[in-house]
Structure 1
Amino acid sequence: MKMMTSKLTISMIKEILEREPDEDFVKRLRKDPRKGVQTQLNNYSKRLAKTEEKKILFEKRFSFEKKFWNDGQTYVAGIDEAGRGPLAGPVIAAAVILPHNFDLLEVNDSKQLSAQKRENLYVKILERALAVGVGFADSALIDEINIYQAARSAMKEAVEALTIRPQQLIIDAMQIDTKIPQLKLIKADARSISVAAASIVAKVSRDHLMEYYDSLYPVYDFKDNNGYGTAKHLKALETYGVTPIHRKTFEPIKSQFLN
């Protein structure tokens, strides 16, 4: 027997609508004259429309992977890095191979996501990905070979850390030294789901590491600035000098804080 919607409170109806009700229930709600019910129904319709838009954009960001899959390249790895700009800490790269049925609609360029959203998606990506590899280039290597080459080195290391050898790479704005075919894609983290997933893994991995460094060097506020040159960070450099994780070839460290 179907329950009459008039017997349900507005809060009960809201809860049911949040659980994706069947179409028959929604049809019956449309006949409910209560203003509060119609408000909840309108909110529900807007959520559906927003979700549908997310699905369309998600599918668009999966177009590069699907083309490679259709061409027989089953394992496609997206690659991205985090930490090119900071004054301290490593650059970290990630390589991610996603399954063909991957459906986390919120996966996008990590820079467009809140810290909490990145953390949540990071866990889900690690759970659902076919393979994840992480590469690391510390401040000493950055100073030795420059940040661009260090990022390339970290990306190569991330690919080599994958437990599945990819048949195709999609890389954000650069190429690495490998025999695996690679697509260099400008703004790839916003155009490819695999690269977006890699950007999240790289960013969160680096954030976690900077939290650890903050416990070693608390006066530099690494847990909040992630090594970037904030006022508090620069003040600490002036007072306490550089640490082993600072990039000595980066300005203003190179000209102002080295004796």
Structure 2
Amino acid sequence: MLTMTTLIASAAIIAALCPTGKLRASINTGNPILAHLNANGQPEGVSVDLARELARRLKVDVELKVFDTAGKSVEAVSKDQADIGFFAIDPIRGAEIAFTAPYVLIEGYYLVPNASPIMSNAAVDQSENRVVVGLGSAYDLFLTRELKQAHIVRAPSSPTVVSTFIEQQAEVAAGVKQQLEADAQRLGGLRLLNERFMEIQQAMGLPKTRGEEAAAYLRTFIQEMKASGFVDEALKRHGIEGASVAPV
């Protein structure tokens, strides 16, 4: 098991990770498993805790750049407007972003009306079905590759998937299990299909232009945060259920 004294940042690593003198962290509040805005409008969650801990280790201030969708959060990092971010691993994103191993695993599920004839994931990919996803989300990218016949409808953000699904009277909504469950309980008349369509691997990432030494430091940091119990404790502290810590 990694120890909390393993990681030492050289001046070169600090310069690569914090070229402005601060650690600019891209935070996506569109996925409540990772982060959300509290009653005072301030971001909190496991990704915020990880950003603050990394900045503490680097001995720099942290600047949280808050976005309401994964797509905007990814764009900030890929365009060097932020130094690190917290995203689901995806090959399209990987063209410009170097990912760590995942730190949290969450599940993507389908939601349908109670009266829908769709009873299994296999029945979703039919030409008569419209599947509502959050624009630029991990499951948008995944289902764009995987669905061959169903039509994808993109809601402005992940939190608006179910409202768009209802407004357009679509056949299927896709998203993070916990978010869909909460919407189904709040609205009634909706049910989740009985198995996930994907496992979403949430990782940290940085621009590939920052170099391999900085990327390796970030990968080791995430391994330490999992091995030490930091990630598990953060999930519990923020009351997150249904997400699991990824294996070290």
What TM-score range do you get, normalising by the shorter chain?
under 0.3
The normalised TM-score by structure 1 is 0.25
- Larger relative contact order (C-alpha < 8 A, sep ≥ 6)? 2
Q: Which protein is richer in strand relative to its size?
A: 2
**Structure label with greater radius of gyration:** 1
The normalised TM-score by structure 2 is 0.25
